[in-house]
Amino acid sequence: MTAPLRLGIAGLGTVGTGVIKIVRRHRDMLEARAGREIVISAVSARSKGKDRGVPISGYDWVDDPVALARRDDVDVFVELMGGTDGPAKAASEAAIAAGKDVVTANKAMLAVHGHELALAAEKQNRVIRFEAAVAGGIPVVKALTEGLTGNDMTRVMGVMNGTCNYILTRMESSGLSYAEVFEEANKLGYLEADPTLDVGGIDAGHKLALLAAIAFGTRVSFDAMELEGIEQVTIEDIRQAADMGYRIKLLGVAQKTGRGLEQRMSPCLVPSGSPLGQLENATNMAVLEGDAVGQIVLRGAGAGEGPTASAVMADIVDIARGIRVPTFGRPADQLDEPVAAHSATPAPYYLRMALEDKPGALAKVATILGASGISINRMRQYSHQETTAPVLIVTHKTQREAMEHALDAFERTDVVAGRPVALRIENL
């Protein structure tokens, strides 16, 4: 009879307790599907006495997650503590050194240390699985590492932060300002302790960096990610985008270009009728494009106890079945060092600016755009607000470098109040 697969779970927050619930509720089903029993040997968290809504007295308690990772009665170390460094990294390294497999939901740790951890694990013939680190319950990591291995991937993109999608769709449906919806999301518990991880695009950027490494066979390169958050998006931008047939999303895009690997996470306008444009509330979506399969769209809950614990359990069951896949789809020592290509792909842009009420103001704007090599597709001017008038411009395709040149020039002129907002338009 095959021996049980024994788990050591570090971190008993929302996801950790969700995993315990699944193991307890579906014990027989998991055994039938995995071909062996899955049991929990020991757990670790900051507080032993906290009421978590699920009994843990039947498991050994370990104060130190590193000690838990080294226990002889643990086959798989389940890291659900979070954090780029600290106990999460130390315990994961200890587990690998002790010959354990690792399952984690920690995108920040893998985005920064993923390559070195993968090298260490594969040297020990161990695996690191991280389905829960990207897009919650959506099986996008498995799709890339297994289901789409016959494809030369051309592009990976998606909406990967449910909080940002909630804020943007809530602004649109309610007519509330960014500040008002931000506060609402905070009261609902949607925001990280450091909100910039969400609204600044960092959390979603971590996820995109992991998917890009798998899709394109490169080392994780989060430092090369272009990041722009949603803080500057106004209700006026959302309304004007809707009037043109677009919606605004915090969109991640990774693709190989002639100049290298392009990775960006930024607010973009996408067609309202596209799958990404129809995405509502806190839902996530991953769009995968390969030369053989074409376009695959995966949609589902990107966070929460059930969806994320579901992804953790999928990795655990794969390990129980004996499925061994390199961390990033191919051996870590064969991953290429990526060449970063910043905004290499041209696109049209949405520009919003406050124009001073001065003679020749529009002419100066057009001159700056022309000098930057940017042509105007359409333009609208709205009623005055005291001494300025809102102006909306949609450009033809241009490079981001040209747009930055124009934005810098606008700040040096006397006809534009402040720095204009420039949002990329992705015609999917």
CATH entry 3.30.360.10 includes domain 145-301: yes
**Nearest CA-CA partner of 235 in 170, 152, 162, 328:** 170
Please tell me the predicted confidence (pLDDT) of residue 381. Answer: 81
**Nearest CA-CA partner of 142 in 331, 336, 328:** 328
Q: Which active-site residues does the annotation give?
A: 207
Q: What is the pLDDT along the chain (428 residues), one digit of tens a residue?
A: 589 999 999 999 999 999 999 999 999 999 999 999 999 999 999 999 898 999 999 999 999 999 999 999 999 999 999 999 999 999 999 999 999 999 999 999 999 999 999 999 999 999 999 999 999 899 999 999 999 999 999 999 999 999 999 999 999 999 999 999 999 988 888 888 889 999 999 999 999 999 999 999 999 999 999 999 999 999 999 999 999 899 999 999 999 988 899 999 999 999 999 999 999 988 999 999 999 999 999 999 888 899 999 999 999 999 999 999 999 999 999 999 999 888 778 999 999 999 988 888 999 999 999 999 999 999 988 776 677 888 999 999 999 999 999 999 999 999 999 889 999 999 88
Q: Which residue has the tokens 């909080």?
A: 163
Tokens of 175: 């007519």
Q: Which residues contact 304 (CB under 8 A, 6 or more apart)?
A: 14, 136, 137
- Beta-bridged to residue 269, according to DSSP, are 248, 425
Same fold, 145-301 and 349-425: no
Please tell me the predicted confidence (pLDDT) of residue 385. Answer: 67
| Phi then psi dihedrals of residue 382, to 5 deg | -110, 175
pTM: 0.93
Domain boundaries, the chain: 5-104, 145-301, 349-425
Sheet containing 60-61: order of strands: 60-61, 38-44, 5-10, 76-79, 101-104, 128-129
Report which residue type is found at 133.
Answer: A
Between the alpha carbon of residue 392 and those of residues 42, 237, 362, 381, the distances in Å are: 59, 9, 11, 6
Between the alpha carbon of residue 339 and those of residues 108, 221, 251, 269, the distances in Å are: 21, 9, 21, 27
Q: Homologous superfamily of 5-104 in CATH?
A: NAD(P)-binding Rossmann-like Domain (3.40.50.720)
Please tell me the predicted confidence (pLDDT) of residue 342. Answer: 82
**Nearest CA-CA partner of 362 in 349, 380, 350, 343:** 380
**According to CATH, what is the number of the domain 349-425?**
3.30.70.260
CA torsion sign for 168, 174, 179, 180 is negative
Between the alpha carbon of residue 303 and those of residues 98, 134, 137, 319, 411, the distances in Å are: 31, 9, 7, 23, 40
| Contact status, residue 132 vs residue 15, Cβ threshold 8 Å | yes
Stated length of the chain? 428
